[in-house]
Amino acid sequence: MKRTLKYFILLLLLSASSLAYSQSRADEIAQKLQNPLSKLSALPIQNNIGYNADNSVSYGLSFQPIHATSYDNFNLIHRAVIGVNYTPGMDGGAEIGKIDGQWGLTDINYSLLFSPKTVKKVAWGIGPSINLPTATSDAFGTGQWSGGLSAVLVYQTGKWTFDGVIRQTWSFAGDNSRTGVNQMVLQPLIAYSLGKGWIINTFPTIMANWDHAQGQQWTVPVGGGLSKVVFMGNLPVAIGAQYYKYVVRPDLAPTQEFRLMANFVFSK
């Protein structure tokens, strides 16, 4: 009986130790995922459901693979954005999948960031960014090849993370009948670790199309949400949800957006 009790207590201690280790790993991974310069390979997937002023619903599925390569004094971070969108018909049909709606591939963005390993309080990265005119419809892309620069600043202290990703691109080739590209994309992030793999953050995508008409240039969402790192076997996955209200927007942009996310971490 005493031996059985000893084995039971040992099993409880091992389980508690394993749980504490898993929670520690979850916290570490959750913090790394808030840093766009972290040395990891991951596949973030976003489901963006947009609600429009006419009560119609749009949808975007975005794959954003990340892969970091380490060298003696610096890292190279490869980042891409590949999207599939749905837009409702001109009559404002509210159901996803209505016949008058349209599905299609968006333009693809690829950025390469050079980031030195030796930093003090603020980490940084900079490199080229290019947009490929892969969209299957005029509604989902620019019809232009465009390129420019992407830059990142990151500051992490304790449970807090502050960072920003910015890129500016200009068109240099493509369909001459389409409007040229002169676009900035800014993604500021503020995140706080709640422990046990939980993160509360805000990560809006702010856009400025400088050559568009007055009042149609800026897209500014405000909001945030929660995420948590869980384990599928040995595979860490960050799952989360966010809500954003568009306080400044072009006429055709959604008024609000609900975002569901899953980030699969393959190496860390």
User: Residue 83's closest CA among 136, 29, 145, 26?
Assistant: 136
Question: CB-based contacts of 146: which residues, under 8 Å, 6+ apart?
Answer: 130, 131, 169, 170, 171, 172, 174, 181, 183
Mean pLDDT over 229-242 rounds to 94
pLDDT at residue number 92: 43
At residue 14, the pLDDT reads 35
pLDDT for the residue 120: 76
What is the reported pLDDT for 267? Answer: 79
Start-to-end C-alpha separation, the chain: 44
Determine which of 63-67, 86-90, 130-134, 190-194 has the lowest per-residue pLDDT on average. Answer: 86-90
117 versus 113: which is more confidently predicted? Answer: 113
Q: 245 pLDDT band (50/70/90 cuts)?
A: very high
Percent of the chain with pLDDT over 90: 67
Decide: helix, strand or coil at residue 100.
coil
Question: What is the arithmetic mean of pLDDT over 68-74?
Answer: 91
